[in-house]
């Protein structure tokens, strides 16, 4: 039943192509149709969709309603359709594989680097309309156009024709599914995973940032393993430069000479760290002994001040002397405390009146 359905579908495609070929004879822009036919394997119905898919936003045009026309909306649609189609193909190709494996394999196919290469393989790079300034730093422009192209196929021909294009014209010709499923793509993650497994210190440092001839920012990153430069990468984004640097470093760590040098540096770092720990322990022990000795010297004075009931002998003698003086003053107090009368004073002016 499935084979019969497939034959009917194939017959319909052949019949439709013949009808489109006849219509093409009466079109003035048949060269454009033939160009897309060589890429697609069928004639477009609405050629404007494919032309828009190849129109970069740097050269946007206005529609009759005044809206900008470029390939961004088709790129959005094509991204979703491409995920579904590749997921369908991978699911059927790798029976029994887990979800994580299928997801990783699909992501390797639909990532921008792969789509860039596919766009060049089928010749889309020669058909894209863009400004020279935009192309100099947009390294994913071809991949974006490929997604937009998929969106155009979907709108023009439907899902099944779109899937047929991906299977027959793309994957069967340019992609080895078994090989790409084993391929490591995220070089930075791979390098970090390797460093953690081998207990190596890895760092990514931005060593330079400059402008290219079109004044677009360019980043250069260096990867260091145990402080030793292992690779450099350049890109129009920090992420791209880090990926390129990590890719070079992964190749570097496979060299026996480089790894021998890294091992020697690692041993030196370990020895230095051990010496520093020993010095810190000795310094800590010395400080502890000093604090203990200082505490013993101050201990009698501390105990004396801490107990107010214990007083030195000279303090007691002073208290006895003070008590004796107080007793004498108390005995003489009545005589000195009587107040004098003016009559008792011989010099008083009132004495003559008595």
Nearest to 141 by CA among 108, 113, 107: 113
- What is the tens place of the pLDDT at every residue in 19-70? 666 565 556 667 888 899 999 999 999 999 999 999 998 877 777 777 888 9
Considering the segment(s) 1-182 as one domain, its CATH architecture is Orthogonal Bundle (1.10)
Q: Tell me: is residue 298 an annotated ligand-binding position.
A: no
- Pairing of β 68-69 and β 61-62: antiparallel
Q: What is the pLDDT of residue 130?
A: 83
Q: Where are the alpha helices (DSSP H) in the chain?
A: 2-24, 30-40, 47-53, 72-93, 99-110, 112-122, 132-135, 141-157, 159-164, 172-174, 177-182, 187-198, 238-252, 256-297, 299-306, 313-337
Distance CA 159, CA 280 (A): 70
Q: What is the pLDDT of residue 323?
A: 54
**Annotated domain spans of the chain:** 1-182, 187-262
List 51, 147, 222, 240, catalytic entry: 147
**Contact call for residues 64 and 159 (beta carbons, < 8 A):** no
Q: How many CB atoms lie within 10 A of CB 127?
A: 18
List 79, 88, 121, 125, catalytic entry: 79
Q: What is the pLDDT of residue 66?
A: 73
Catalytic residue at 79?
Answer: yes
Catalytic residue at 147?
Answer: yes
Class for the domain spanning 187-262 = alpha beta
As a whole number of angstroms, the longest Cα–Cα distance in the chain is: 166
- What is the tens place of the pLDDT at every residue in 210-248? 998 888 899 999 999 989 999 999 988 898 899 889 989
Q: What is the pLDDT of residue 25?
A: 54
Residues of the chain with pLDDT under 50: 136, 302-304, 306, 310, 315, 318, 320-322, 325, 328-354
**Contact call for residues 226 and 262 (beta carbons, < 8 A):** yes
- Asked, colleague to colleague, whether 1-182 and 187-262 share their fold, the answer is no
Instruction: Return the residue matching tokens 């760290």.
Output: 273
Q: Tell me: is residue 144 an annotated ligand-binding position.
A: yes
Q: Tell me: is residue 283 an annotated ligand-binding position.
A: no
Q: What is the pLDDT of residue 328?
A: 44
């Amino acid at each position: 039943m499935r084979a019969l359905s497939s034959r009917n579908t194939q017959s319909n495609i052949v019949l439709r192509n013949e009808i489109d070929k006849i219509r093409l004879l009466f079109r003035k822009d048949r060269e454009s149709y033939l160009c897309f036919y060589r890429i697609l394997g069928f004639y477009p119905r609405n050629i404007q969709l494919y032309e828009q898919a190849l129109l970069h936003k740097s050269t946007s045009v206005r529609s009759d309603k005044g809206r900008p026309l470029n390939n961004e909306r088709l790129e959005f649609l094509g991204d979703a359709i491409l995920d579904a189609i590749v997921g369908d193909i991978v699911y059927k190709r790798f029976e029994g594989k887990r979800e994580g494996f299928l997801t990783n394999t699909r992501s390797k196919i639909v990532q921008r680097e792969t789509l860039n290469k596919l766009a060049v393989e089928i010749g889309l790079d020669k058909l894209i309309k863009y400004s020279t300034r935009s192309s100099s730093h947009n390294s994913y422009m071809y991949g974006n156009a490929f997604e937009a192209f998929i969106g155009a196929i979907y709108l023009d021909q439907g899902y099944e024709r779109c899937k047929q294009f991906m299977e027959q014209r793309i994957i069967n010709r340019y992609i080895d599914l078994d090989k790409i499923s084993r391929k490591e793509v995220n070089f930075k993650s791979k390098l970090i995973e390797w460093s953690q497994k081998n207990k190596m210190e890895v760092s990514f440092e931005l060593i330079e940032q400059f402008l290219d001839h079109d004044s677009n920012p360019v980043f250069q990153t260096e990867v260091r393993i145990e402080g030793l430069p292992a690779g450099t990468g350049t890109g129009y984004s920090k992420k791209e430069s880090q990926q390129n640097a990590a890719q070079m470093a992964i190749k570097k760590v496979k060299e026996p000479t480089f790894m021998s040098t890294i091992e020697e540096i690692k041993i030196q770092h370990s020895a230095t760290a051990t010496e520093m720990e020993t010095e810190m322990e000795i310094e800590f022990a010395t400080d502890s002994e000093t604090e203990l000795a200082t505490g013993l010297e101050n201990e009698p004075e501390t105990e004396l001040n801490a107990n107010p009931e214990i007083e030195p002998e000279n303090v007691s003698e002073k208290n006895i002397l003070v008590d004796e003086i107080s007793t004498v003053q108390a005995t003489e107090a009545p005589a000195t405390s009587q107040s004098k009368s003016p009559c008792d004073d011989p010099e008083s002016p009132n004495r003559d009146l008595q």
